[in-house]
Amino acid sequence: MPTLSSRTVLTLDAAKEIMAAAEAEARKNNWNVSIAILDEGGRLMMLQRLDGAPPASVDVCQAKARSAALFKRPTKVFSDAVSSGRVAIMSLPGAVPVEGGLPLLAGGECIGAIGVSGVTSEQDAQIGAAGAALLN
C-alpha cells in the first residue's frame, strides 16, 4: 500500500465553536451579518444569518469563504492587489477581492474558511478573525 499522509480536518464541533465566537463578536458590536464556515474544499458546513442581515449577505459570505479556502489566503490579499492596480486579479476564477474571507489554519494547514458579510468589509473581517482566532 502506498504511504498516505494524515491531515487535520475541520470538524462540525470545531465549526460550531468558531461560529459562536464570530457571532459573539458581531452581536457585541450590534452588527447584523451572515457568517459561513466552509471546509477545505470550499463546501458549506455552517451558515448563520443574524436577524436584520441583508439578504445578499448570505451569498456574499459564502463566496468570501470559498475564495479564502480555495486560495488559502484572506480575501484582503485580493482586495489590496486590486486597490494597488493589479486588476488582473479579478480574472482569477473564484477570487473575491473584498475583505471578509479568512482561511482557517491549523498546524500551518488550511482546514477551511470563514466568510462574513453585512457590514463594512473591515468589520466583516473583524468578525471572521474572532472566529478564526480559536485555532491560533
In a domain, 88, yes or no: yes
Which tens digits make up the pLDDT trace of 70-100?
Answer: 999 999 999 999 999 999 999 999 999 999 9
In a domain, 87, yes or no: yes
Domain of residue 75: give its range. Answer: 12-135
Count how many domains the chain has: 1
Q: The domain spanning residue 40 has which CATH number?
A: 3.30.450.150
In a domain, 6, yes or no: no
Model pLDDT, residue 94 = 95
In a domain, 34, yes or no: yes
In a domain, 49, yes or no: yes
Look at the alpha carbons of 32, 47, 19, 41 in this order and tell me if their dihedral is positive or negative.
Answer: negative
Give the burial class of 120: count Cβ atoms within 10 A of its Cβ; 0-12 exposed, 13-18 middle, 19 or more buried: exposed
In a domain, 69, yes or no: yes
Model pLDDT, residue 65 = 98
**Coil, helix or strand for 62?**
helix
Q: Output the average pLDDT for the chain.
A: 96
Q: What is the pTM of this model?
A: 0.95
